[in-house]
Structure 1
Amino acid sequence: MIDQDHKLGVKEANLVSRKLQLSGIQGQEAEALVAEIEQQFGVDRVAYDPDAGTLAFSYDATHCNLDLVESILSKRGAGFATNWWNRTKRSYYRYVDQNIKDNAGYEPHCCNKVPRK
């Protein structure tokens, strides 16, 4: 895919996909929740599976992060499930998001250039 295949503000190089279980959400709340998350800058797609109770979403990690999605969930009275696997994935996702954000501004150097003084 190329960057034109995504929403505004989403670059293919920084695109990450996440899938986490939710708790404390009813059927009608889910639609409003998905719509609110989808409106955020940098979010590419959001989908909620009511049978499995999972939220699948993709976003550009330089503009958006897992904490933003979590704050929207808590505002609506929902949250991520607190089981071991969900906590492990959230921790890993936060690490990867921060790493992508830190490396986005990195300017590589070339070994053939004279070093700056």
Structure 2
Amino acid sequence: MTRKLKLEPCDADALRLAIAEIDELFGLQRVTYDTGKRKLSMAYDGSRLCIDHIEEILAQHAIEISHGWWNHFKEDHYRFVDQNIKDNANKEPWSCH
């Protein structure tokens, strides 16, 4: 899964610590931050992580996600897709053949 979130302006040291903590999560492939666009980009295994894990870490470091409507729309979509992947990963596959 590839996810991008725009962040509100925040303390650079808190952001650095949050990114380091996110980078240690099991199932995360990469995390980057574009300072000019204030965008946090992540790639992770959807069966192990979800956007809520990332947002919890950001909240612990007092980093807010942008309050724009597009960002909220993406967050809701990411949650839906992440939950769907997690649910499908836990089900045993079956076939009628």
Q: TM-score, normalised by structure 1?
A: 0.77
- The question of 1:86 aligning with 2:90 is answered no
Alignment match, 1:45: 30
Q: Distance in 1 between matches of 2:39 and 2:23?
A: 16
- Per-residue deviation, residues 1-34 of structure 1 (Å, max 9, x unmatched): xxxxxxxxxxxxxxx0000101142333322221
Tell me the residue number matched to 2:86.
Answer: 101
Larger Rg: 1
Higher RCO, Cα 8 Å, sep 6+? 2
Q: After superposition, what is the alpha-carbon deviation per residue over 1:88-116, rounded to whole angstroms, capped at 9, x for unaligned?
A: 0000000000000000122232323xxxx
In the alignment of these two chains, the number of paired residues is 97
CA RMSD of aligned residues (A): 1.2
CA distance in 2, matches of 1:81, 1:38: 21
User: Which AA in structure 1 matches 2:82?
Assistant: D
State the alpha-carbon separation in 2 of the partners of residues 88 and 94 from structure 1. Answer: 10
- Once superposed, which parts of structure 1, at least 4 consecutive aligned residues long, lie more than 4 Å away? none
- Report what 1:71 is aligned to: 56
Distance 1:48 1:65 in 2: 18
Q: What is the TM-score of this pair, normalised by structure 2?
A: 0.91
